[in-house]
Amino acid sequence: MRRTTTLRTGLSALLLLGTWAAAGTLPASAADTPAHSAGAPASPELLSAMQRDLGLSRDAAAARLAAEKTATAVERKARRAAGSAYGGSWFDARTGKLTVAVTRAARADAIRATGAAVHLVRYNARHLDAARKSIDALPAPTGVGSWHVDPKANKVVVNIVAAHRDDNDVRAFLARARQAGPVTVRQTPAAPRTFAAGTVGGDPYYTGNVRCSIGFSVHGGFVTAGHCGSPSGAVYGWDRSYIGNFQGSSFPGNDYAWVNVGSGWWTVPVVLGWGTIPDRLVRGSAEAPVGASVCRSGSTTHWHCGTVLAKNETVNYSQGAVHQMTKTNVCAEPGDSGGSFISGDQAQGVTSGGWGNCGSGGETWHQPVNEILNRYGLTLHTA
């Protein structure tokens, strides 16, 4: 499927390939931006995409979006109410509410007063994050896929590739990881990989022999994945005309970059819907909680939706580990790298990598957009 006429008149230059919208122009940080702006309800096409990818009825999809909007707004208040006892939080699709893990029952009433449910746990978020950081310092073999703090389990989850679960180096890594703090082990069917691709005509942008996807417009350029190009590398659009150059890029360790825009191209606060849904306006970058629905737009597989599974996960690619990633069960394929992850009308991040495909399913990680904005001092272009 080729890009729309609208994109070919110039919007393609900076159309993000995911879909998010809602919350006014944001500076580099999105500290206390409301989750969604008041206004238009979800489009029929967005509801249809959620029905397809999340197995929901149309009414259930609409109700879930409304509940997630509330949960995103509640999360900051509930975290403040929990104080140092905060152990993490997640959106519970069954109840339609945010659940907050807390180590002290004395904080429960204050948390419930914000509209969140309460789950008592042993370890607070600071303790768990310290354990995760200790594991980050360990050299990880290829049989270890990733690791993250799971607030519901109240442990650090280490994901190992099933075929390598008995490898000596994997066992040695797990033994050292358990010394860092509370750890549980889960298996994943495949190792993570990035989603860059070789050159294919008619797609969003090229650098060298790599095709990737535009992420989100910022004032002066756009953000995308770091593994797609190196600083000063030239970037060309879907029509092979020159757009600009990578002004900053980091991979591994991080997976983010930004490209300046000129030569007749300009930025717009839009994410491409690829005909599945109407192209979406981007209104902010308020971060959705674990358990919330999220959608992705990319130049290979176009528009797909799923759920946020984990945050602050360290992903062990063959090129090296990347930190502070968000894991989802949205599918992706080569060429989707750098594209947009969006929740409602709020930008979430740029596609990094994962495992699987959009035929059989899989998992995909994104680098949170607010981290990229803060790192380079950029301002998200919003409607």
Catalytically active residues, by annotation = 227, 255, 337
Helix ranges restricted to H, 199-284 = none
Tell me the Cα Rg of the chain: 20
Q: Specify the 3-state DSSP secondary structure of 13.
A: helix
Among all chains, which residue has been given the structure tokens 């208040």?
77
Contacting residues for 347 by C-beta, under 8 A, at least 6 apart = 16, 18, 20, 216, 282, 284, 285, 340, 341, 369, 380
- For 303, the enclosing helix (H) or strand (E) is strand 302-317
**Residues 180, 166: contact at Cβ < 8 Å?**
no
DSSP tag of 72: H
Among all chains, which residue has been given the structure tokens 């919208």?
21
**Residues 251, 375: contact at Cβ < 8 Å?**
no
- Compute φ and ψ for 372, nearest 5 degrees: -65, -45
Contacting residues for 208 by C-beta, under 8 A, at least 6 apart = 229, 233
Closest CA to 198 of 57, 60, 299, 78: 299
- The amino acid at 119: H
- The sign of the CA dihedral 364, 365, 370, 372 is negative
Contacting residues for 118 by C-beta, under 8 A, at least 6 apart = 99, 100, 102, 107, 108, 111, 112
Q: Specify the 3-state DSSP secondary structure of 27.
A: coil
- Specify the pairing of strand 183-188 against strand 155-161: parallel
Residue 205 CB-half CA count within 13 A: 36
DSSP tag of 288: P
